[in-house]
């Protein structure tokens, strides 16, 4: 069995629902405790307790039988009556930001339109930190995914294909052409893979101004993405840039792709609108139906909920919309198995808690493929893509494998060498990606001189520069962003938080 394999009884009589059930599997090295049966899913986790991954075996191999205790009697069970199954996997890519003008020239002010006339610092075949992605970089990312040897059930793609250039240098047709270019690239490389896209704030012209009604861009992407979506999804995509769609391999598993650009601060088209495109109403109805049908849901979008991890008291979207979304996510947290965003270009986590302070949802912001930064910014990110692992029975998130390209090294050598940056559970020595695990990790971050946080902050920039230091105020912003997604006062939480964590709340949350 591979990492996170499950053991499932073929025979219902072997399922051991009784809580008295205990057992161990005899291996070439030792006997391993099988653990308690998981009542909700008719499965057994190996080796230590319910829902503990198999990777804890330490390399031992299980023989063809095991012994177990049932009450006071000792019995033998043939392990050939069990099936080993691997975790489900899916890719997450975001913020491609293709700059079709990118080219190598002696005049570094003319390397790319996205540098806006600034001198490209060290342009090479895979790009420059003052430029958006050349096609060569984007193609290398998708080639890596294609040839990684990882089997994935689907891919999520959370928006932003066009470059960061002045409004006058783009048009609606240009934006559509760039999205079409990226869509064709994905479809040609992954003809049999189901892809779930979400629109970004740059996937429109003028940028950020996505409307709450049908538009030329919405109609265009609905046509482009038709191979991946059903008719109902296409219909809502045309009307408001959002949709919901079942995963073809798991019919009780649904992806909801939100158009959170409707709530983005710079969007003046939706200013003072209570429910742009009626997306809130649609979202509640969709989640309610999913709940009745016993489905599990992943939420994907471009602009994330919560506070920006590098700014004081600033939510990524307008505060009213942020509060509304958080309320909905809390209400349906029992069926939302994960949330996935882009937009910030950085690698970060968030934990949504209920009103009593209990962690109930895990959220992930993926780093960008583009390495671009402004002239005023000191730091940027290396290009990154990631692979999530999940339980194929209940869709709970197990792990994430973050891959990256060292841009400087790739440009020097003239070839890309995408590498594993980290595996989250191994990097932080946590059990899984469940809300409680991430919540406890965030509390570790808050400890003075936390080595875990130093590691997290390096990964925040996708290992661009390990020398960068996050001071006390910087750390407070980061921890606040992880654990405080709305205006809920940390003083009201049931769980006592460390002093720095509390400082983060005070610094980040606006008080009326």
Q: What is the mean pLDDT of residues 489-511?
A: 43
| Residue 394: DSSP 8-state | T
Residues 6+ apart with CB under 8 A from 221: 176, 179, 183, 197, 199, 203, 237, 241
Partners of 63 in beta bridges: none
Q: What is the mean pLDDT of residues 198-211?
A: 99
Residues 6+ apart with CB under 8 A from 394: 40, 41, 296, 337
The residue that leads in pLDDT, 496 or 111, is 111
The angle subtended at Cα 229 by Cα 400 and Cα 283, nearest 5°, is 75
Q: Is the pLDDT of residue 417 over 60?
A: yes
CB 26, CB 76: distance < 8 Å: no
The residue that leads in pLDDT, 483 or 34, is 483
At 210 the pLDDT is 99
Indicate if the alpha-carbon torsion angle 177, 178, 183, 184 is positive or negative: positive
Residues 6+ apart with CB under 8 A from 158: 92, 93, 94, 95, 197, 198, 200, 300, 301, 302, 340, 341, 342, 343, 366
Q: Is the pLDDT of residue 123 over 90?
A: yes
For the chain, helix, strand, coil in percent to 5 are 30, 20, 45
The angle subtended at Cα 366 by Cα 142 and Cα 246, nearest 5°, is 75
φ, ψ for residue 328 (rounded to 5)? Answer: -65, -45
When pLDDT is cut at 50, 70 and 90, the band that residue 62 belongs to is very low
Percent of the chain with pLDDT over 90: 75
CA-CA-CA-CA dihedral for 104, 342, 292, 275, to nearest 10 = -110
CB contact burial 229-238 (16+ within 10 A = b; e otherwise): beeebbebbb
Structure tokens at 15: 């399922």
In terms of DSSP H, where are the helices of 116-211? Answer: 135-147, 172-189
Sheet of 37-38, strands arranged across: 37-38, 43-44, 6-9, 82-85
Q: Is the pLDDT of residue 340 over 80?
A: yes
Q: Is the pLDDT of residue 234 over 90?
A: yes
The residue that leads in pLDDT, 278 or 21, is 278
- 73 exposure class (CB count in 10 Å sphere: 0-12, 13-18, 19+): exposed
Model confidence over 272-300: pLDDT tens digits? 999 999 999 999 999 999 999 999 999 99
> Cα–Cα distances in Å, from 475 out to 22, 60, 156, 453?
44, 41, 30, 8
Cα 155 to its chain centre, rounded Å, is 11
At 5 the pLDDT is 40
| Residue 150: DSSP 8-state | -
Model confidence over 129-187: pLDDT tens digits? 999 999 999 999 999 999 999 999 999 999 999 999 999 999 999 999 999 999 999 99
The Cα 317–Cα 303 span in angstroms is 7
Identify which of 42-46, 47-51, 312-316, 323-327 has the greatest average pLDDT: 323-327
> Cα–Cα distances in Å, from 213 out to 186, 229, 239, 388?
27, 20, 5, 33
Least confident of 24-33, 239-248, 336-345, 424-433: 24-33
Domain ranges of the chain: 6-85, 88-508
Least Cα distance to 229 among 209, 202, 217, 247 occurs for 247
At 70 the pLDDT is 40
Q: Average pLDDT, whole number, for the chain?
A: 84
CB count within 10 Å of CB 450 equals 18
Q: Is the pLDDT of residue 503 over 60?
A: no
The angle subtended at Cα 207 by Cα 212 and Cα 232, nearest 5°, is 40
| CATH tag, 88-508 | 3.60.21.10
* pTM as predicted: 0.84
Q: What is the mean pLDDT of residues 362-384?
A: 94
The Cα 482–Cα 115 span in angstroms is 31
When pLDDT is cut at 50, 70 and 90, the band that residue 85 belongs to is low
CB 498, CB 483: distance < 8 Å: no
């Amino acid at each position: 069995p591979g990492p996170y394999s499950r053991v499932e009884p073929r025979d219902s009589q072997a399922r051991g629902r009784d809580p008295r059930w205990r057992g161990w599997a005899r291996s070439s090295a030792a006997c391993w405790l099988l653990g308690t049966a998981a009542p909700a899913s008719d499965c057994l986790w190996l080796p230590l307790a319910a829902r503990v991954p198999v990777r804890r075996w330490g390399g031992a191999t299980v023989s063809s039988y095991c012994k177990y205790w049932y009450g006071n009697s000792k019995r033998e069970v043939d392990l050939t009556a069990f099936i080993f199954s691997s975790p489900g996997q899916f890719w997450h890519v975001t913020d491609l930001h293709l700059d079709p003008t990118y080219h190598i020239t002696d005049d570094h002010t003319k390397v790319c339109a996205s540098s806006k006339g600034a001198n490209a610092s060290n342009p090479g075949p895979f790009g420059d930190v003052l430029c958006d992605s050349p096609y060569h970089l984007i193609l290398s990312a998708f080639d890596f995914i294609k040839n990684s040897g990882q089997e994935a059930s689907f891919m999520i793609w959370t928006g932003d294909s066009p470059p960061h250039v002045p409004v006058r240098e783009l048009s609606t047709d240009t934006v559509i052409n760039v999205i079409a270019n990226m869509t064709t690239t994905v479809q040609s490389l992954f003809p049999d893979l189901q892809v779930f896209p979400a629109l970004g704030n740059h996937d429109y012209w003028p940028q950020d101004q996505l409307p709450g009604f049908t538009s030329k861009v919405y109609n265009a992407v609905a046509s482009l993405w038709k191979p991946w979506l059903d008719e109902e999804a296409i219909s809502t995509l045309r009307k408001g840039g959002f949709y919901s769609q079942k995963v073809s391999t798991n019919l009780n598993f649904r992806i909801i792709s939100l158009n959170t650009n409707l709530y983005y601060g710079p969007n003046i088209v939706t200013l003072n609108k209570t429910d742009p495109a009626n997306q809130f109403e649609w979202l509640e109805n969709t989640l309610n139906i999913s709940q009745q049908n016993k489905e599990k849901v992943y939420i994907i979008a471009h602009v994330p909920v919560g506070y920006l991890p590098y700014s004081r008291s600033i939510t990524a979207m307008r505060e009213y919309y942020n509060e509304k979304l958080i309320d909905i996510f809390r209400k349906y947290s029992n069926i939302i198995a994960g949330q996935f965003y882009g937009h910030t270009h950085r690698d970060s986590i968030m934990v949504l808690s209920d009103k009593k302070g209990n962690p109930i949802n895990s959220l992930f912001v993926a780093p960008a493929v583009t390495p671009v930064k402004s002239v005023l910014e000191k730091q940027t990110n290396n290009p990154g893509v990631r692979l999530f692992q999940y339980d194929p029975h209940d869709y709970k998130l197990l792990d994430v494998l973050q891959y990256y390209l060292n841009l400087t090294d790739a440009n020097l050598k003239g070839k890309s060498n995408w590498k594993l940056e980290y595996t989250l559970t191994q990097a932080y020595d946590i059990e899984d990606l469940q809300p409680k695990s991430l919540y406890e990790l965030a509390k570790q971050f808050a400890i003075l001189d936390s080595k875990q946080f130093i590691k997290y902050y390096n990964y925040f920039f996708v290992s661009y520069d390990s020398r960068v230091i996050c001071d006390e105020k910087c750390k407070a912003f980061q921890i606040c962003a992880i654990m405080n997604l709305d205006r809920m006062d940390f003083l009201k939480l049931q769980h006592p938080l460390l002093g720095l964590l509390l400082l983060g709340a005070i610094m980040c949350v606006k008080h009326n």
